[in-house]
Structure 1
Amino acid sequence: MSFVYKKVSLKQAITILAKNGIEVDDNEATVIVDFLYLMAKNYKKDEEEKVLKPQGEIELYKKTL
């Protein structure tokens, strides 16, 4: 999966991982960064759904079933 706009470059990701004792090459860093962007995208989508559906409305819907 390729994301057009990234705030974290591969070089930055490799540097951050190296500071924590994890050595990766460019290909591995690409996979890691793409995975993290995908996770962030899905997390953001979940948060937007929670905002669109307040808790009270969900409870009322469940009670009517």
Structure 2
Amino acid sequence: MNFIERKISVKRAISILAKNGVAVDDREADVILEFLYLVAKNYNKIEDVQNAQNPKKKSNLLKST
């Protein structure tokens, strides 16, 4: 997959990972970014599915007047 609208460059990802003690090369950083973008892209889809399966509670009882 190739995400056109990347906000984080590979160099920036390497820098962020290095600050947290993770040493990666360009190829590994690219794979990590691809994975994170894929997770982020699908995150909203999961919420939409959960909301569709759990509609807001509605009472089936007739209201007394």
Identity among equivalent positions (%) equals 54
Unaligned runs of 5+ in 1: 58-65
Tell me the CA shift for residue 55 of structure 1: 2.3
Normalised TM-score (structure 2): 0.73
Matches within 5 A, 1:1-65: 1-51=1-51, 53=52, 55-56=54-55
Which protein is bigger by CA-based radius of gyration?
A: 2
Q: CA RMSD in A?
A: 1.7
Normalised TM-score (structure 1): 0.73
Name the structure where helix makes up a greater proportion of residues.
1
User: Aligned pairs, how many?
Assistant: 56
Tell me the CA shift for residue 56 of structure 1: 2.9
One-letter code aligned to 2:27: N
Give per-residue Cα distances to partners, 1:37-57, cap 9 Å, x unaligned: 001111121123345x27236
Tell me the CA shift for residue 13 of structure 1: 0.4
